[in-house]
Chain A
């Protein structure tokens, strides 16, 4: 896939726009989680509409997704709006190329797969308001548990929208995760592995052993 230079922007309404630097082609993406939609625009007037609620599998918004999708189009691959967007997004999420949604005003680029040769400009994050972040964390935990506690499928548990949003907080979420893990045996191991960058509980035979390994790591690294 040809390298594609992009310029990522976000507007005052915290909608991400992804404008491609291509002479005769431009594309935009925006979404509003509270209303459950994500939109892809070939131009500002006309675009493909993706209704999250109509999907049979969960997926997460990402400006990078649009980059990949539209880069195919740019490279001459015929893509039919809506149906193929679903297919392509689903494949991308399920292949775990991209694990993190991009949520304004935070951006995490550690999951960019070099095979895709996507060139992304460096973005600066806003200063973190810890009180606000902690409140958001607890709200997301409640949503995550409500939506997945009855699932045995780690796919359902780990790709849940609220869980992914916690992962998107990156290392800022670690003190909250460890504090929660200390008192509540929840399924944090995947988020911890992705945020920390390794599985410190590898080889643990069961949940209890893995929890103990992660709590020890968190303590040694002064996360609580």
Chain B
């Protein structure tokens, strides 16, 4: 069901959310067993739930470490994004020809969320098992639950690459 009104009902959790700075862009996956999360969504995938945990049913790129709960590291997440052709960059400003993601970390620098920059300048986030939303800025989701967006990565926009590929 597509209903993100719960975000507005949780000011203690998402203090920066306002009716005019986000919109619901998908149904919740609470009732679906085709689960994906914000990390998968940030790299443009919907076929798995990404997290560095050795537990059947969850995905993390091969060769990267699995980590204790709540002790996940930014370095591991950066490496995971690198497997999808991302590289570190300075900020979340839109750059022609690039797709960007931001990793939110808490006060202990533990990753809690990720969002992807859209060509229209808004960000898209999958909220756990709840809906995908588009939010005006990264700050909309910053706060108690997700921490702050501090790590930025970019990759050549896959769509642009397809356009630029020579015809075979």
A64-72, A169-177, A204-212: which one contacts chain B?
A204-212
A156-191 vs B, Cβ < 8 Å mask (1 yes, 0 no): 111100000000000000000000000011010110
On chain B, the number of residues with a Cβ less than 8 Å from chain A's Cβ atoms is 40
| Stretch of B18-26, B90-98, B106-114 on the interface side | B106-114
* Chain A residue total in the interface (Cβ 8 A): 39
Q: Which DSSP category, helix, strand, loop or mixed, fits chain B's interface?
A: loop
Interface contact A56-B107, CB-CB below 8 Å: yes
Q: Are B127 and A150 in contact (CB under 8 A)?
A: yes
Is A207's CB under 8 angstroms from B34's CB?
Answer: yes
Instruction: Tell me if A153 is interfacial: C-beta within 8 Å of chain B.
Output: yes
Indicate if the CB atoms of A204 and B70 lie closer than 8 Å.
no
Number of A-B contacts (CB under 8 A): 117
Residues of B within 8 A of A184 (CB): 30-31
Tell me whether B101 is interfacial, beta carbon within 8 Å: no
Interface positions of B from 3 to 48, Cβ below 8 Å from A: 13, 30-35, 37-39, 47-48
Interface residue stretch chosen among A7-15, A76-84, A122-130, A195-203: A195-203
Which of the segments B51-59, B81-89, B116-124, B148-156 contacts the partner chain?
B51-59
Please judge, given known A-B contacts A56-B106, A193-B55, whether A95 and B68 are in contact too, CB under 8 Å: yes
Check: B136 CB closer than 8 A to any chain A CB: no
Indicate if the CB atoms of A208 and B34 lie closer than 8 Å: yes
Q: How far is the CA of A213 from the CA of B129 in the complex (A)?
A: 21
B100 at the interface (CB under 8 A from A): no
Contacting pair B49 A207 (CB below 8 A): yes
Nearest B-chain residue to A181, judged by Cβ: B33
Across the interface, B112 reaches (CB within 8 A) one of A95, A149, A151, A210, namely A151
Contact A149 B113 (CB under 8 A): no
- Cα distance A199–B112 when bound, in Å? 25
User: Once the chains bind, are A207 and B68 in contact (CB under 8 Å)?
Assistant: no
> Nearest Cβ in chain B — how far from A63, in angstroms?
21
| A116 is an interface residue with CB less than 8 A from chain B | no
Contact, CB under 8 Å: A205 / B51 = no
Query: Are B59 and A206 within 8 A (Cβ)?
Result: yes
Closest CB-CB distance, A152 to chain B, in whole Å?
A: 4
Do residues A154 and B71 form an inter-chain contact, with CB atoms below 8 A?
Answer: no
Q: Which residues of chain A are near B50, meaning CB under 8 Å?
A: 152
Known: A95-B71, A150-B145. A185 touches B33 (CB 8 A): yes
Q: Is residue A148 contacting chain B, with contact meaning CB distance below 8 A? A: yes
A159 contacts across to B, CB distance below 8 A: 69-70
Min CB gap A187→B, angstroms: 8
Complex: chain B residue closest to A152, CB-CB: B37
Please give me the 9 A-B residue pairs with the lowest Cβ-Cβ distance, nearest first. Answer: A210-B57, A201-B56, A155-B70, A152-B37, A155-B69, A204-B56, A207-B35, A185-B33, A152-B38
User: Interface residues, chain B, CB within 8 Å of chain A?
Assistant: 13, 30-35, 37-39, 47-51, 53, 55-59, 68-72, 106-108, 110-114, 126-130, 145
